[in-house]
Amino acid sequence: MPIENSKAQEIKRLTTPLTFKDSHAYDDNGNKINCVETINDVRYILEPKEGILSDDEILKYAPKSKAASKVRLKRGLGNSSDVLLIHDSLPWVLGSFYIILACVSVPVFFSGNRFGMLLILILVIIPLIYLYRIFNLNSYIGVQANKPASVKPQENVQRTIESPFSESVSDFGVGSLKRYEKEINNLKVLFDVKESAVRDLIEKRFAPPQITYDKFIAIIDSSHKLFYKQADAASNIINLAAEDTPRVQGEIENKISAMHTIIDQIEKLTNELVINISNETGSDDDVKGLLDDMESLIDSVKEY
């Protein structure tokens, strides 16, 4: 469970907009973010912490990071921009090196020192060999690039199908309402992580085909449908509203509030399951209480 919580927190950190104060950028946890300068770009990049997210999750939640560039290069999907991002200081180092080398080479050439000229020629060639090596994209491709792409679980496919309409109208709507989209996307990420965690706990606590297991899974399935129904409804309002009015804002905020409620109840259920699993003498009353809580959750969300 600590791993799943860490993953949820890390995804939230990566998907939350940066805060700018006194010419510095800070992430959701208040950590200062360094500026990355390339030849044609200057930006602040959030790097995912090591050992928390999978390669696919890095590409999804931190696509502009150095870690994502490494994943793309390893899979044979990268380009020279990814190389430059990983070696962001290389242009400045090489520029300084060749400027110094040019200053040294002038008196050497005028003096006619052959050994010195040969040494300078070698110093000119060595960085070029290094550049050829790091820009050879084939050298980054790992063994995993030759493996067939893994098939996504059916559950994820189902989620993609649930909201085709909201995605098709994503370019429409009132611009001022787009501010809600980031929060909705963050909530989707949190829900997916917490839902996955609670399903694992249910399976550990109530191994199928127990009746209690079936009841819990049915309730989680219902919660999933309700959550994405609220998310899709909010997205449709954002994308289809003709104007930004207090009533429209209120409807969107009600949907978002319902999403928060579902996530809070899922997290509460997760904590209760952790306690129940660690307590070998967990009673049936505790289990019934968990079921009642989730049923109340479904009923309360349906009222929105």
Over residues 215-229, the pLDDT tens digits come to 888 888 888 999 999
- List Cβ neighbours of 68 (8 Å cut-off, separation of 6 or more): 58, 59, 62
- Say which amino acid occupies 158: Q
Interval 66-85 mean pLDDT:
88
Per-residue confidence (pLDDT) for residue 290, from 0 to 100 = 63
Report yes or no: 290 and 273 within 8 Å, Cβ to Cβ. Answer: yes
HSE (CB half, 13 Å, CA atoms) of 223?
A: 30
Q: Does the pLDDT value for residue 5 go beyond 70?
A: no
d(CA 6, CA 15) in angstroms, rounded, equals 14
Q: Quick: pLDDT tens for 129-185.
A: 999 988 888 888 864 444 444 444 444 434 433 444 444 444 456 778 888 888 888
**One domain for residues 129 and 175:** no
Q: Which two tokens stand for residue 80?
A: 């020279």
- For residues 123 and 205, membership in a common domain is answered with no
What pLDDT is attached to residue 300? 66
Whether 76 and 61 map to the same domain: the answer is: yes
Q: What percent of the chain clears pLDDT 90, i.e. is strictly above it?
A: 14
Last residue of a domain, one of 122, 147, 172: 147
CB contact at 8 A, 199 and 269: no
Could you tell me which residues are beta bridge partners of residue 20? Answer: 25
Residue 20 has pLDDT above 70, yes or no: yes
Q: Do 220 and 105 share a structural domain?
A: no
State which of 87, 119, 147 marks the end of a domain: 147
User: What pairs with residue 32 in β-bridges?
Assistant: 26
Cβ contacts of 251 within 8 Å, gap of 6 or more? 234, 237
Secondary structure letter of residue 173 according to DSSP: S
Whether 112 and 16 map to the same domain: the answer is yes
pLDDT at 100 over 90: yes
Q: What is the pLDDT of residue 11?
A: 82
Provide the pLDDT confidence category of residue 1 given band limits of 50, 70 and 90.
very low
Of 18-27, 114-123, 136-145, 200-209, the range with the lowest mean pLDDT is 136-145
The number of domains in the chain is 2
The predicted pLDDT at position 286 comes to 62
Residue 127: its pLDDT value, please? 92
Same domain, 85 and 166: no
- pLDDT attached to residue 303: 60
DSSP code of residue 65? S
Do 284 and 198 reside in the same domain of the chain? yes
- The CA–CA distances, whole Å, from 241 to 81, 123, 178, 184, 304 equal 39, 64, 11, 17, 19
More confident residue, 260 or 154: 260
Q: What is the pLDDT of residue 301?
A: 62
The whole-angstrom separation of Cα 171 and Cα 188 is 20
Length of the chain: 304
Task: With H, G, I as helix, E, B as strand and everything else as coil, classify residue 34.
Answer: coil
Do residue 85 and residue 110 come from a single domain?
yes
Domain containing residue 142: 1-147
* Same domain, residue pair 9 and 126: yes
For 99-123, the DSSP string reads: HHHHHHHHHHHHHT-HHHHHHHHHH
- Band of pLDDT at residue 103, cut at 50, 70 and 90: very high
Q: Are residues 40 and 132 in the same domain?
A: yes
Tokens of 125: 């060639």
- Tell me the C-alpha distance between 80 and 38, whole Å: 12
Question: Are residues 137 and 170 located together in one domain of the fold?
Answer: no
Among the candidates 124, 147, 170, a domain finishes at 147
In angstroms, rounded to a whole number, what is the distance separating the alpha carbons of residues 88 and 167?
Answer: 35
Joined together, the tokens standing for residue 191 give 């829900």
Are 166 and 141 found together in one domain?
no
Please calculate the CA angle 169-172-177 and round it to the nearest 5 degrees.
Answer: 110
Q: Residue written as tokens 């609670």?
A: 198
Q: What is the mean pLDDT of the chain?
A: 78
